[in-house]
Amino acid sequence: MKIKIFLPLACLLSIMLATQSLQAQYARFIESGVVTFEKRVNMYAKIQSRYGKSRSSFMEQALEQYKRTQPQFKSFNYNLAFDGSRTRFWPLNDQTTPSGGFFGDDPSIDMGNTIVTDLLAGQSIGQKSVYEQTYLITDSTRRIQWRITNETREIAGYECRRANALVLDSIYVVAFYTDQIPVSGGPESFTGLPGMILGVALPYENTTYFATKVDDRPVTAKELEAPKKGKAVNYRELRAELEASLKDWGEYAQPIFKAMML
């Protein structure tokens, strides 16, 4: 009787293992395409974090007025084109989210960055603007010391694994990447994981980037074209210029400074 029970179970187990092996063997990996990201900023939390330490009665009233007239989350849409060795991240032209007045016009909320990254050469070209000044930043890609965890979640139909890191000495980053897209890219300047980053959360910056769609297709040369306009600097020169120009702004300058360097 024991033999009669054991044999069917053994056969079933063998079939399951063979099926999993076959699925893994024929799993399709995407090497080029376009990822659409939604960037979301928790405006209520961001405003309270920025102005909470020294809010005047005027600022209190302005914040309450903002909460009565504006939604809690502000959204921005971006695309990330990629092939085997190059990515380009840029804002979509249909950004229709209202500014939200005084608080919503803060450049640290969103700068509409365009960033092209050469993953093989380890170099990036970024176009970033703050107020009237546009910079064209050419430098090596940031080396991020990621700590990969066992936590997983599904994003845009892909199983992703979580990784944590600290950038700019103080910004905590949570990223989710998928090895089904074997390209070590991601939104903004986040790279360096063994697969495409489809989700980024900056908890203390009250900001997230999550993929909403992955379009599996060849990309054009125009979709990977590097920006060309702006004052040419590297990140060291950008840092020095920002520190000089914002030195009289006190604490108010810090979120703008971090957003530009990020």
Residue 197: strand pairing partners: 177
| The pLDDT of residue 62 | 81
Q: What is the pLDDT of residues 141-163, one digit of tens each?
A: 999 999 999 999 999 999 999 99
Residue 126: what are its φ and ψ, rounded to 5°?
-120, 140
* 5 band by pLDDT with thresholds 50, 70 and 90: very low
Of the pLDDT bands very low, low, confident and very high (cuts 50, 70, 90), residue 100 is low
Question: What is the pLDDT at residue 23?
Answer: 38
Mean pLDDT calculated for residue range 124-130: 95
Start-to-end CA span in the chain (Å): 67
Residue 97: pLDDT over 50: no
Distance in angstroms (rounded) separating the CA atoms of residues 220 and 190: 22
Q: Among candidates 119, 262, 123, 128, which has minimal Cα distance to 200?
A: 262
* Range scoring the smallest mean pLDDT among 46-60, 122-136, 241-255: 46-60
Tokens at 9, concatenated:
């179970």
- What pLDDT, on a 0 to 100 scale, did the predictor assign at position 102? 57
| pLDDT, greater one: 100 or 21 | 100
> In this predicted model, which residue has the larger pLDDT, 112 or 95?
112
Spatial strand order in the sheet of 114-118: 147-155, 158-167, 171-178, 196-202, 207-216, 33-42, 73-82, 86-91, 114-118, 123-130, 133-140, 231-233
Question: Hey, which residues does 200 pair with through a beta bridge?
Answer: 175, 209
- Residue 174's pLDDT is 98
Confidence of residue 258 (pLDDT cuts 50, 70, 90): confident
Distance of CA 166 to the CA centre of its chain: 14
- Rounded to whole angstroms, the Cα distance separating 205 from 219 reads 32
Percent of the chain with pLDDT over 90: 63
- At 239, list the tokens: 């840092």
- Residue 222's pLDDT is 94
Does the pLDDT value for residue 255 go beyond 90?
no
pLDDT-derived band at 77 (thresholds 50, 70, 90) equals: very high
